[in-house]
Amino acid sequence: MSIEHTHGHDHESHAAHDDHHDHKPTGFLNRWLFTTNHKDIGTLYLVFALLMFFTGGAMAMVIRAELFMPGLQLVEPDFFNQMTTMHALIMVFGAVMPAWVGFANWMIPMMIGAPDMALPRMNNWSFWILPFAFAMLLSTLLMDSGGPAAGWTLYPPLSLQGGQSFAFVVFAVHMMGISSIMGSINVIATILNMRAPGMSLLKMPLFVWTWLITAFLLIAVMPVLAGAVTMLLTDHFFGTSFFNAAGGGDPVMFQHIFWFFGHPEVYIMILPAFGVVSEIIPTFARKPLFGYTAMVYATASIAFLSFIVWAHHMFTVGMPLTGELYFMYATMLIAVPTGVKVFNWVSTMWQGSMTFETPMLFAIGFVVLFTIGGLSGLMLAITAADLQYHDTYFVVAHFHYVLVPGSVFALMAGAYYWLPKWTGHMYSEKWGKIHFWISAISVNILFFPQHYLGLAGMPRRIPDYSTQFADFNMISSIGGFIFGASQLIFVGVILHCVYKSREAASGRVWEGARGLEWILSSPPPYHSFNTPPVIDATTVAHAGEAH
Amino acid sequence: MEKVGRDEIAARRSRAVRTAWVLGAVAALIFITFILSGVLKS
Ligand code: HEM
Ligand SMILES: [Cu+2]
């Protein structure tokens, strides 16, 4: 058999056994619809996430086009609200989260020396639920009552005032939740049971650690979201009054419940990003990660703290003063472990012999720009100040900094980092760098002015605005169009790498890369480690004196 | 190099399935207690 076969002999662990022919299933349906292979499922997740990224991105373009000038130009206000709501739901649940699950599927078995995920058939289900969930969600746009328009937070009473299509939204959220929970169960079961002998927990790469912790967060909070939307469903269609004030329910209770889910959810989107960046920076600084153990503990404390800060999203609902103070200080505490992480990334680069290939550029872009988002988060955590900022574009600027040059840049960094490993070919470094620079510049043109808009009082989720906001909105929209268009370069680079690139990638790919995935050939054999690899300082990134 | 035999793989897989059931039960329990607490309160 082809390339994989010959490369399979590269490493002694593969020479040891004889049945390592790659039995890829034949036929399109067998290969993709019925697949139980972690790499194929990883690919499905990543392709799906990319499709959703462009679907949600198209909606963002509608939003920025409408906001290009004051006045109502292009769309009806209700449709505008559907766009903001759908954009967020699709980006959060359709793009960022599935993309991270895709990385988990591809990388975790390879990184811990396992042949595959622990529960391959459930893995197939976790993925194939998603296209149906999103088809259902998107179909609401075509229904008489239109898509959901109350914001991704689905606050009642507004969310209860929509039409019949709301039922589809709720069921779609249920399916996404089931998919995430099954994915998380698989991740935890794999990491706890399938590690190669000698791969102790504190030798695991940070990407594996951050995903382990993320998976626990998901299992804890997705059922809460599922419960909350179920109650919205019965309030809407079956006359209950969980959140309906007219019937004795409590709409503020919904906010507490939503954010008990919602705040951990934002860390679900950022912890794997921390993991990827912690893999990439040591590779291109050619130094072991500074403070490996501290990174693990920082991740765990961020995860723990994420459960006890939720009401910083609700400073304006009228909590008792003690509550406001508690949530302010608890939120500020998160800055400590986050600061530890940023410090450790910078220290890893310190006096390293750095090179700036595309993954490293995106990783450094992440560290710098994510930190801007962290700092505006800290500003929002100041209760007295948040009374002013809340529900303005300042909040929009904050969370887009942590999510776009944060989570999304980390996804791009990871994609460029492992693309040669996945495909066996090098991508075009020139176009990767062009993609990075246009993205990094335009993302700031897009989101930085939104800080000023917010400070000046422009509310979020509106299709029209008063004329003093015109200039910054126009700048922001221009940045948005450039950013949106430049993501097509990413698709071009991927397609070129997969189908056209002639430059073969070595197993190690990057000179400074450490970790088990790099002792496999590029592309790796269909089943990663049928024989467990040797775990020692030469194969594992964190086996040395680093901790 | 430590060898991992077929028995060991099978044992791991069954441990993984047990982990999965425990985690699934935890998720289901959170969902059910959450709904129940809402129902009983109203
Ligand atoms: C560094 C620590 C962080 C702090 C102190 C912080 C603080 C806050 C606060 C106080 C708010 C509420 C603002 C308001 O509505 O008035 C907020 C909103 C938000 N934050 Fe953060 N944040 C941090 C990091 C993050 C991260 C890492 C993410 C995601 C990757 C994130 C995503 C969001 C989102 C999505 C919202 C808005 C939710 C909405 O209302 O739609 N934040 N943040
Ligand atoms: Cu929060």
pLDDT along chain A (547 residues), means of 10: 37 40 75 91 98 98 98 95 98 98 97 93 96 97 94 95 94 97 97 93 95 97 97 95 91 96 97 98 95 96 96 95 96 95 96 96 98 96 96 98 98 98 96 98 98 97 96 98 98 96 92 92 89 82 54
Q: Do B35 and A227 touch (CB under 8 A)?
A: yes
Whether the Cβ atoms of residue A151 and residue A80 lie closer than 8 Å to each other: no
A186 lines ligand 1 (CB under 6 A): no
Number of the ligand closest to the Cα of A378 = 1
The amino acid sitting at A520 is L
Q: Is A537 exposed, middle or buried (0-12, 13-18, 19+ CB in 10 A)?
A: exposed
For testing contact with chain B, the best of A181, A200, A538 (most B CBs within 10 A): A181
A266 lines ligand 1 (CB under 6 A): yes
A119 lines ligand 1 (CB under 6 A): no
Look-up of token digits 């035999």: B5
Question: What's the CA gap between A186 and A347, in Å, rounded?
Answer: 34
Question: What's the CA gap between A403 and A70, in Å, rounded?
Answer: 27
Question: What's the CA gap between A448 and A470, in Å, rounded?
Answer: 15
Q: Is A239 left (phi over 0), alpha (psi -120 to 50) or beta?
A: left
**What's the pLDDT at A9?**
38
Could you state, in order of their start, the residue ranges of all structural domains in chain B? 1-42
- What ipTM was reported for this prediction? 0.90
A407 lines ligand 1 (CB under 6 A): yes
Question: Which A residues, 210 through 249, put their C-beta within 8 Å of a C-beta on chain B?
Answer: 219-220, 222-224, 226-227, 230-231, 240-242, 248-249
The 10 Å Cβ neighbour count of residue A354 is 16
Question: Which A residues, 106 through 125, put their C-beta within 8 Å of a C-beta on chain B?
Answer: 118-119, 122
**What's the pLDDT at B42?**
63
A341 lines ligand 1 (CB under 6 A): no
**What's the pLDDT at A543?**
54
Q: Which of A109, A118, A94 is nearest to A45 (CA)?
A: A94
Q: Is A18 exposed, middle or buried (0-12, 13-18, 19+ CB in 10 A)?
A: exposed
Q: Which residues of A are identified as catalytic?
A: 87, 116, 152, 179-180, 263, 265, 267, 278, 312-313, 338, 341, 460
**What's the pLDDT at A545?**
45
Residue nearest to atom 33 of ligand 1 (CA): A399
Q: CA angle, A318 as apex, A314 and A319 as ends, to 5°?
A: 80
The reply to whether B5 touches chain A by the CB within 8 Å rule is no
From the list B3, B12, B42, the residue facing A241 with the nearest CB is B42
Helix intervals (H) in A238-333: 251-285, 292-305, 321-333
CA A212 to each of CA A190, A290, A337, A338, B17: distance values in angstroms, whole numbers, following the listed order: 10, 21, 18, 18, 17
Which residues in A lie closer than 8 A to residue B17 (C-beta atoms)? 118-119, 189
- Alpha carbon A31 to its chain centroid, in Å, reads 26
The 10 Å Cβ neighbour count of residue A47 is 15
What are the backbone angles phi and psi of residue A456, rounded to the nearest 5°?
-80, -5
Question: What's the CA gap between A525 and A515, in Å, rounded?
Answer: 16
For testing contact with chain B, the best of A185, A232, A516 (most B CBs within 10 A): A185
